[in-house]
Structure 1
Amino acid sequence: MLVSMDSLPQTARVWIYPSNRLLTGEEEAQITADLTAYLSNWASHGTLVRSAFELRYHQFIVIAADDNQHIGGCSLDELAHFIQD
């Protein structure tokens, strides 16, 4: 379940994925569309994960998720594979 970054608790888990170069505007638009679709449906054990993302400095993808929910290892692995693709 995609939410705003501000609506997540301060205890939210955060992952930062760096790019080895600056992203173009076209790449940022594609990443935004892909992450919006993915995180809107990201689930762990059948429950949608409250999550948010930001693109920062044209080089970093910041993803945060509500730590009050248990996020299973399989769901975390799926996120990592999604980012790598």
Structure 2
Amino acid sequence: MQFSQNSRVWVYQSDKQLNDADVIKLQILLDNFTTGWTAHNNQLKAKAEIRYNRFIILIVDESQAGASGCSIDKSVRFMKDIEEQFGINLFDRFNLAYRSDEQILSVPRHTFEELISNKTIDANTIVFNNMVQNLTELENKWEVPFKDSWHIQLFSSLLAQ
């Protein structure tokens, strides 16, 4: 199934990495949700992906039917259920993810600040911009160097030290 580059995207980041068995179970739940996801009784052209055993990405191609407030609420409720079922937190926006060699790690804001201060995270460290809005941004602006991310606005004073 082809999706428009303008398709809406929601990125949910888990506070911990899921094991492979959980990823398989979760993908089945996500597939079931997206195939039944509707907005005002119109089937949404939607899919879900799990990346790096940590990120859940919902994608809706609104060229057929747009996601409405009610349909977005359904997805949020579904994600809350996923949190409970898998014992993870998907809604902590200050749980920040970054690359360390080939690993994807996530830490709370205060730990992220410490990692910048002790130079573990620098201007070229890859961070994840979970605020991307569409597929084009997901492909081009999701995994970016710290210096090119929204993170720099929040933590630039620490980087300069």
TM-score by length of 2: 0.48
Report the counterpart of residue 73 of structure 1 in structure 2.
69
Structure-2 residue corresponding to 1:51? 46
Partner secondary structure for residue 4 of structure 2: coil
Paired residues, number: 80
Structure showing greater relative contact order (alpha-carbon pairs closer than 8 Å, 6 or more residues apart): 1
- Give me the whole-angstrom Cα distance separating, in 2, the residues matched to 1:42 and 1:63: 11
State whether structure 2 residue 4 is matched by structure 1 residue 9: yes
Separation in structure 1 between the aligned mates of residue 61 and residue 79 of structure 2, nearest angstrom:
19
Corresponding residue for residue 17 of structure 2: 22
RMSD, matched Cα: 1.0
Give the whole-Å Cα distance in 1 for the aligned partners of 2:44 and 2:30.
Answer: 13
1:82 maps to which of 73, 78, 88? 78
Match 2:57 to one of 53, 62, 71: 62
TM-score normalized by structure 1?
A: 0.88
Q: Deviations over 1:21-75 (max 9, x none)?
A: 0001111011111011111110101110001111101100011101222211011
Identity of paired residues, percent?
28
Q: Which runs of 5+ in 1 are unaligned?
A: none
Given that 2:13 and 2:55 are in contact with CA atoms closer than 8 Å, whether structure 1 keeps it comes out as: yes
CA distance in 2, matches of 1:29, 1:70: 28
Runs of 4+ in 1 over 3 A off after TM superposition: none
Counterpart Cα distance in 2 of 1:70 and 1:37: 19
